[in-house]
Amino acid sequence: MPFIAATATGFPPHFYSQETISEDLQMLWSAYGVNTDRVARLHENTTVESRYIAVPKEEYYDLKGWEAPNAIFGRVAFELGKETLNKLFAKTDLGPEDIRLLTFATTTGLAIPTIDALLLNRMPFAPDTKRMPLFGLGCVAGVAGLARVADYLRGHPTEAAVLLAEEFCSLTIQKHDVSIANLIACGLFGDAAGAVLVVGDEHPMARQNGHPMPEVVATRSVLFPDSEHFMGWEIKETGMQIVLSADVPEASRGPLSNEIARFLGDHDLTVGDIGRWVCHPGGPKVIEALEDGLGLNGTTLERSREVLRTVGNVSSVSALLILDAVMHDDPPPPGTWGLMLAMGPGFVAELILLRW
């Protein structure tokens, strides 16, 4: 079974407090007759305290249509992607030339050729490196991308592969949209990148002594029927307009929790056997609903809450940030079971069972 050999994270250089961003948005929306006190309360309720964004906040006032923000996406995604991959390779003895598959995930910008092709052309990857760009999976893409990489390596156990996920949610801002969903989203989402190096179980890096690596034991994809309206984007002339339903927390409490229990049961495990949770923080209500549905105590998903507080919901990258924190700040003892999970448009979930 494949092993997660290394992780790395990256952020754009523009960092602001939630208060600063919220004040700017309140001023913007006051012209549309929006109650600014209500906006302030909505943003406070997200529990987000600070966020990174793609460009200086003053530049967002001049963004119009879809072309301008998408051009910024292409530039910053390449720059931050290259920086994050260099961080990843600096942690191992491998370089780009040793990678046989590069998977790139995003939902917040479009580029053709995709960003992974640009990185292959400008970094010393082998010209026959396989590519797997993933678009449109939303918040689930980090876990889904890692699962698909692991699936690939089961069939190519001597190889190494990389997942790079980048999200620039700030560039999807719809300044004219004063729906509750957009008011909340503009106080919730941030920008970031995450990268993961995975090796097959016959690769020389597998089972290295003194370097505990989690093993990808199993993966599962779940599609919940009749739930397309829960979350996603509507493509407008002005860009991507958020779709975010109040049904998501309840779906996390019931159907998702049941699927998690079923997945673990298929491996003779229970929720109590999981020692490390790598859970995408959709928002405070989603975290609370998962804890309630799974019977977890109020501190089990603290890493998810911490990522949400410090950088916001960074869509597909969130789970990779939490994985990075577990790998570097809190590596568990050998034999510990872990579970990665995320939800996304569909309404879908992806689950990965790990063991250190």
Phi and psi of 246, rounded to 5°? -70, -5
Residue 252 pLDDT more than 80? no
B/e letters for 235-249, b = 16+ CB within 10 Å, e = fewer, are eeebbbbbbbbeebb
Average pLDDT over residues 320-332: 94
Is 139 one of the annotated active-site residues of the chain? yes
> In which band, very low, low, confident or very high, does the pLDDT at 334 lie, cut at 50, 70 and 90?
very high
What are the extents of the domains in the chain?
A: 3-199, 215-355
How far apart are the two ends of the chain, measured CA to CA in Å? 12
d(CA 204, CA 196): 17
Q: Calculate what percentage of the chain has a pLDDT beyond 70.
A: 99
Q: 215-355: which CATH topology? A: Peroxisomal Thiolase; Chain A, domain 1 (3.40.47)
pLDDT of residue 155: 97
239, two tokens: 């860009």
What pTM does this model have? 0.95
Question: Of the listed 139, 169, 186, 279, which one is catalytic?
Answer: 139
Answer whether 3-199 and 215-355 agree in fold. yes
C-alpha distances out from residue 126 to 34, 118, 121, 157, 333, Å: 53, 13, 9, 19, 36
Q: What percent of the chain has pLDDT over 90?
A: 79
At a CB cut-off of 8 Å and minimum separation 6, what does 59 contact? none
Whether pLDDT at 168 is above 70:
yes
DSSP-assigned beta bridge partners for residue 16: 51
What average pLDDT does the segment 3-29 reach? 96
pLDDT the model gives residue 236:
82
211-227: pLDDT as tens digits: 679 999 999 999 988 87
Looking at residue 190, what DSSP letter applies?
Answer: -
Identify the pLDDT of residue 209.
56
Say if residue 310's pLDDT is above 60. yes
Query: 68-122, pLDDT tens digit by residue?
Result: 999 999 999 999 999 999 999 999 999 999 999 999 999 999 999 999 999 999 9
9 contacts 322 by C-beta, under 8 angstroms = no
Segment 334-349 shows an average pLDDT of: 94
> Looking at residue 273, what DSSP letter applies?
G
Provide the CATH number for the domain formed by 3-199 in this structure.
3.40.47.10
Residue 355 has pLDDT above 80, yes or no: yes
pLDDT band, residue 246 (cuts 50/70/90): confident
The 3-class secondary structure across 143-174, one letter per residue, is HHHHHHHHHHHHHCCCCEEEEEEEEEHHHHCC
Instruction: Sort strands 130-135 and 239-244 into parallel, antiparallel or unpaired.
Output: unpaired
What's the pLDDT score for residue 210? 60
What is the rounded average pLDDT for all residues in the chain? 94
- The pLDDT value recorded for residue 333 is 93
